[in-house]
Structure 1
Amino acid sequence: MDKLLAQSRWYRLLPVAFITYSLAYLDRANFGFGAASGMAEDLHITPAMSSLLGSLFFLGYFFFQVPGAVYAENRSAKKLIFWSLILWGGLAMATGIISNVNALIGIRFMLGVVESAVMPAMLLFLSRWFTKKERSQANTFLILGNPVTILWMSVLSGYLIQAVGWRWMFILEGLPAIIWAFFWWRLVDDKPEDASWLTRPEKQGLAVQLEKEQQGIKPVKNYAEAFKSRVVILLSFQYALWSIGVYGFVMWLPSILNAAPDMNIVKTGWLSAVPYVLAIIGMLGASYFSDKTLNRKAFVWPFLLVGAVAFYGSYLVGPDNFWLSFVLLILAGGAMYAPYGPFFAIIPEILPRNVAGGAMALINSFGALGSFIGAYIVGYLNGTTGGFGASYLFMAGSLFLAAIITLIAVKKPASLETPESASVRLA
Structure 2
Amino acid sequence: MLVRNKVLLSMFALMVITYLDRVCIAATASAMSNELNLSLSEMGYVLSAFVLGYVLFEVPGGYLADRFGARTLLTRIVIWWSIFTALTGVAWNYTSLLLIRFLFGCGEAGAFPGTTSALSRWFPRSERGRAQAVIMIGSRLGGALAPGLVIYLMHQIGWRSVYWVFALLGIIWAIFWMRWYRNTAEEHPSIEKSELAKIQAERTPTNRAATIPWVRLLTSRNIWALCVMYSGYTFGVYFYMTWLPTYLQQGRGISQSDLGFYAALPWVAALLGNLLGGVWTDAISRRMRLRWARRIPAITGLCVSASLLVAAALLESPIMGIAALALSFGASDLILSVCWATCVDIGGQHAGTISGMMNSLGQIGGVAAPMVFGNLVESYGSWELPLIIAAGYYLVSAGMWILIDPEETVV
Category of TM-score, reference length = shorter chain: over 0.9
* 1:377 and 2:372 are equivalent in the alignment: yes
Structure 1 residue 58: Cα displacement: 0.5
213, 238, 242: which one pairs with 2:233?
Answer: 242
Structure 1 residue 9: Cα displacement: 3.4
Structure 1 residue 211: Cα displacement: 4.4
Partner of 1:307: 305
Partner of 1:84: 77
Partner of 1:342: 338
Aligned mates of 1:162, 1:266 — CA distance in 2: 11
SS at match of 1:339: helix
Partner of 2:155: 162
Aligned mates of 2:111, 2:218 — CA distance in 1: 20
Aligned-partner residue type, residue 322 of structure 1:
P
Partner of 1:3: none
* 1:273 and 2:264 are equivalent in the alignment: yes
CA RMSD of aligned residues (A): 2.1
3, 18, 21: which one pairs with 2:12?
Answer: 18
Specify whether residues 70 and 221 from structure 1 end up closer, same or farther in structure 2 by C-alpha distance, changes over 3 A only.
closer
> Is the contact between residue 62 and residue 110 of structure 2 (CA under 8 Å) also seen in structure 1?
yes
Aligned mates of 1:208, 1:381 — CA distance in 2: 53
Identity %: 25
Specify whether residues 184 and 301 from structure 1 end up closer, same or farther in structure 2 by C-alpha distance, changes over 3 A only.
same
TM-score (norm 1): 0.89
Give 5+ residue unaligned stretches, structure 2: 286-292
305, 316, 326: which one pairs with 1:330?
Answer: 326
> Is the contact between residue 125 and residue 202 of structure 2 (CA under 8 Å) also seen in structure 1?
no
Aligned mates of 2:258, 2:70 — CA distance in 1: 39
62, 65, 79: which one pairs with 1:72?
Answer: 65
Structure 1 residue 104: Cα displacement: 0.7
> Is the contact between residue 2 and residue 195 of structure 2 (CA under 8 Å) also seen in structure 1?
no
* 1:289 and 2:280 are equivalent in the alignment: yes
Give 5+ residue unaligned stretches, structure 1: 1-6
Aligned-partner residue type, residue 316 of structure 1:
L
Structure 1 residue 375: Cα displacement: 1.9
Which digits, 9 at most, give the CA deviation of each residue in 1:320-363, with x for residues without a partner?
4212211110111111222211221113223341x332111101
Partner of 1:263: 254
Partner of 2:398: 403
Structure 1 residue 131: Cα displacement: 1.5
Aligned residues: 401
Structure 1 residue 286: Cα displacement: 1.7
Aligned-partner residue type, residue 376 of structure 2:
L
Partner of 1:254: 245
Partner of 1:4: none
Structure 1 residue 367: Cα displacement: 2.6
Partner of 1:172: 165
TM-score (norm 2): 0.92
Aligned mates of 2:381, 2:42 — CA distance in 1: 16
